[in-house]
Chains A and B, each alone.
Chain A
Amino acid sequence: MAEVELTNISKIFEGAAHPVLSDISFTVKDTEFVSLLGPSGCGKTTLLRIIAGLEEQTSGSLIIGESDMSRVAPRDRDMAFVFQNYALYPHFSVEDNISLGLRLRKIEKTEIAARVKATTEMLGLDALLARKPRALSGGQRQRVALARALVRNPKVFLLDEPLSNLDAKLRDKTRGELRMLFKKVKGTVIYVTHDQIEAMTMSDKIVILQDGKIQQIGTPNEIYEKPANIFVATFIGTPQMNILTKKEMQTMGYALTGTEPSLEDFTCGIRPEDLEVSVTARQGWVEGAVDLCEPTGALTTLTISVPGAALRASTTLKWPLDQTRAWFTFKHEHMHFFSSAEGGRIN
């Protein structure tokens, strides 16, 4: 069993004024795939490095299985790390790159050979074993880095944006492959990414970080459907969620229905796909001007301006390009309400 438990992990780099991570606590269950998601510079890599033992936390504890890992050397933590730039050994062959970790652990030769064979076959690397990393394509290097991790059969896999150096198409393909791969080997995975699609499609659980603080922990659906605050609400989902203050809603002519929080002030979030739009006027709907119409095939994204605000709406309607007026309303059950002061979720 390899459960990873982080409790109140904080990190302040020497000489820095602000903590890079503050009070990070979450648990990764055995065989769970957890993504750390957040904008650039929010501390994802730092957190992963702390888990790997490459960086020491300023405070907090890290427990893997039953044992406290806070003071254990990286090589004794039984984890594998896939670096963003792969960090292959340039002067060793692919085979050595993959097998060195096992050889250093004094595992029997026959077993090493068997494991290397199984792993490289699974990843389609068998024909490349004799090559040096510089003779590989980016995608192949990425798979070698993955093989180096998989072959060790570690308690926990740590991956730092392993797909970010691949082109869009390969990234799409690899995403699914990775997910299936880790399901197959029943790996416990902590996966760092700033790509929400990756996090949404691959994870059992997502941890959203901003400025070194956890914003929300939940399954992809929970996070999408019940964002804990305005940051998460706008960070997840493309096009971005519309954010309107109570005042803005009133200015644009939206009639409050009474289902809204009975507060002096609140902020409402509504996803573009939760706007209902129409080309003709409807009773009680808000009228706006279509500034931009972006058809993407199945969906069309409209940018609609109303007095005091602009909203985005996604619709399956084939929107006529010369249609410059739009009428819209919100699907009540999909409206998110946040406190305007703290940004926290209310409903």
Chain B
Amino acid sequence: MATTKSDRRSTAYKTAFYVFMVVSVIITLFPFVWMLSTSFKSPGEIFTKQPTILPQLWTLNGYKNLFAAVNMWLHLCNSVIYAVSITALSVLFNAMAAYAFAKLRFPGREKLFALLLVTMMVPGQVTMLPVFLILKSLGLLNSYAGLVLPGSAAVFAIFMIRQFMMEIPEEILEAARIDGFSEFAIFWRIMLPLCRPIIATLTVFSFIGAWNDFLWPLIIMLREDKYTLPVALASINGQYNTDWGLLMAGAVVVVLPAVLIFLMAQKHYIKGIAAGAVKG
């Protein structure tokens, strides 16, 4: 069979598409690869006239220096505590609030929700100082509680989960109510599992957001032993002459967990659910 015009057109279209995608991937990945490769280069090679993609001489000195310069394990630990607890708390609280706004009947529900949405218009930088002052007067500076609590509920996430929950048919909850589920069991055993795609998405966002967060931990954690990874890394940068090998090694250590989490959660990302719940 001869190739028809539309066949040829679609081949051309596909080729263009793939070329575009490959170029995009290269552009996106390049800094990442550069960081990775630099972290394994010797200081001399980093500044050669002709840059190399891969190190000619692989060295772990960057990592060694990094772990010698600061107490990496301590900061890693701080970062994990910060990111994990803020993620766990915020997902739980956001989902609970979203459930109330989506499915429970109470007077003033819509108004309260509108009020909540309005707060999204206030940029974080504006509230940072007042929150800092409040935490200070509560004596929560330099503490994990002070670091985590202000971020343990997020309006945007509440909004997202609520939208998702509103799609879940009311009858499923009513069936559960008749079946004997308690209100909490309905939330925990029916709503949460049904919201898994959106919760997985928000978990990743929240974790990566907290993991990469720099400004807030910098403000709240005044003592060096409470620094999270990004803050610790920044502090090295200031203390010594910039050692690029070390800095890139640090960046790798910071980025790696975030990338891993992202890849792991990928398959849970938004996809059709509730299929089969009601007539299909």
User: Beyond A88-B277, A90-B276, A138-B279, is A80–B172 a contact (Cβ under 8 Å)?
Assistant: no
Interface residues of A, count at CB 8 A: 32
* Residues of B close to A148: CB separation below 8 A: 175, 179
* B172 touching A132, Cβ below 8 Å: no
Nearest-Cβ distance from residue B268 to partner chain A, whole angstroms: 13
Select which of B172, B177, B180, B276 is within 8 A of A135 by beta carbon.
Answer: B276
Interface string of B175-205 (1 = CB under 8 A from A): 1111111000100001001100000000000
* A85 touching B169, Cβ below 8 Å: yes
- Report how far A263 CA is from B169 CA in the complex, Å: 55
- Report how far A101 CA is from B190 CA in the complex, Å: 13
- Report how far A52 CA is from B169 CA in the complex, Å: 18
* A86 touching B278, Cβ below 8 Å: yes
* B277 touching A89, Cβ below 8 Å: yes
Flag whether B280 is at the interface (Cβ < 8 A): yes
* B181 touching A87, Cβ below 8 Å: no
From 123 to 176 in chain B, residues with beta carbon under 8 angstroms from any chain A beta carbon are 169, 171-172, 174-176
From 128 to 170 in chain A, residues with beta carbon under 8 angstroms from any chain B beta carbon are 132-136, 138, 141, 148, 152, 165
* Residues of B close to A165: CB separation below 8 A: 279
- Report how far A73 CA is from B177 CA in the complex, Å: 9
From 61 to 115 in chain A, residues with beta carbon under 8 angstroms from any chain B beta carbon are 73-75, 77, 79-81, 83, 85-91, 100-101, 104-105
- Report how far A187 CA is from B277 CA in the complex, Å: 26
Nearest-Cβ distance from residue A62 to partner chain B, whole angstroms: 15
* Residues of B close to A101: CB separation below 8 A: 178-180
* Residues of A close to B190: CB separation below 8 A: 89, 91
- Report how far A104 CA is from B179 CA in the complex, Å: 8
* A91 touching B178, Cβ below 8 Å: no
User: Beyond A133-B277, A136-B276, A138-B279, is A89–B178 a contact (Cβ under 8 Å)?
Assistant: no
Flag whether A54 is at the interface (Cβ < 8 A): yes
User: Beyond A85-B171, A87-B172, A91-B193, is A133–B276 a contact (Cβ under 8 Å)?
Assistant: yes
* Residues of A close to B274: CB separation below 8 A: 90
- Report how far A85 CA is from B178 CA in the complex, Å: 16
Select which of B169, B185, B194, B275 is within 8 A of A87 by beta carbon.
Answer: B169
* A75 touching B279, Cβ below 8 Å: no
* B277 touching A52, Cβ below 8 Å: no
User: Beyond A75-B180, A87-B174, is A141–B194 a contact (Cβ under 8 Å)?
Assistant: no
Flag whether B273 is at the interface (Cβ < 8 A): yes
Interface string of A298-323 (1 = CB under 8 A from B): 00000000000000000000000000
* Residues of B close to A89: CB separation below 8 A: 172, 175-176, 190, 277
- Report how far A81 CA is from B190 CA in the complex, Å: 18
| Minimum CB distance partner of A88 in chain B | B277
- Report how far A148 CA is from B176 CA in the complex, Å: 11
Q: Which bracket fits the contact residues of B?
A: 20 to 34
Select which of A77, A80, A105, A138 is within 8 A of B280 by beta carbon.
Answer: A138
- Report how far A136 CA is from B280 CA in the complex, Å: 9
* Residues of B close to A52: CB separation below 8 A: 174, 178
* Residues of A close to B279: CB separation below 8 A: 85-86, 138, 141, 165
* A132 touching B175, Cβ below 8 Å: no
| Minimum CB distance partner of A85 in chain B | B278
- Report how far A105 CA is from B275 CA in the complex, Å: 28
* Residues of A close to B276: CB separation below 8 A: 88, 90, 132-136, 141
Select which of B178, B194, B277 is within 8 A of A79 by beta carbon.
Answer: B178
* A75 touching B177, Cβ below 8 Å: yes
- Report how far A89 CA is from B193 CA in the complex, Å: 10
- Report how far A87 CA is from B170 CA in the complex, Å: 9
- Report how far A301 CA is from B165 CA in the complex, Å: 52
Nearest-Cβ distance from residue B71 to partner chain A, whole angstroms: 44
Nearest-Cβ distance from residue B148 to partner chain A, whole angstroms: 30
- Report how far A75 CA is from B175 CA in the complex, Å: 10
User: Beyond A87-B169, A90-B274, is A74–B193 a contact (Cβ under 8 Å)?
Assistant: no
From 231 to 252 in chain A, residues with beta carbon under 8 angstroms from any chain B beta carbon are none
- Report how far A88 CA is from B180 CA in the complex, Å: 14
* Residues of B close to A138: CB separation below 8 A: 279-280
Select which of A54, A75, A135 is within 8 A of B179 by beta carbon.
Answer: A75
- Report how far A171 CA is from B180 CA in the complex, Å: 30
Nearest-Cβ distance from residue B188 to partner chain A, whole angstroms: 12
* Residues of A close to B179: CB separation below 8 A: 75, 100-101, 104, 148, 152
* Residues of A close to B178: CB separation below 8 A: 52-54, 74-75, 77, 79-81, 101
* A91 touching B194, Cβ below 8 Å: yes
* Residues of B close to A81: CB separation below 8 A: 174-175, 178
| Minimum CB distance partner of A73 in chain B | B177
- Report how far A52 CA is from B177 CA in the complex, Å: 10
* A134 touching B180, Cβ below 8 Å: no
| Minimum CB distance partner of A138 in chain B | B279
| Minimum CB distance partner of A145 in chain B | B175
Nearest-Cβ distance from residue B277 to partner chain A, whole angstroms: 4
Q: What are 22 A-B pairs at a CB distance below 8 A?
A: A52-B178, A53-B178, A73-B177, A74-B178, A81-B174, A83-B171, A83-B175, A86-B279, A87-B171, A88-B175, A90-B277, A100-B181, A101-B178, A104-B179, A104-B180, A134-B275, A134-B280, A136-B276, A141-B276, A141-B280, A148-B179, A152-B179
Q: Which 9 A-B pairs have the closest CB atoms?
A: A134-B276, A87-B171, A85-B278, A133-B276, A104-B180, A90-B277, A101-B179, A87-B175, A75-B180
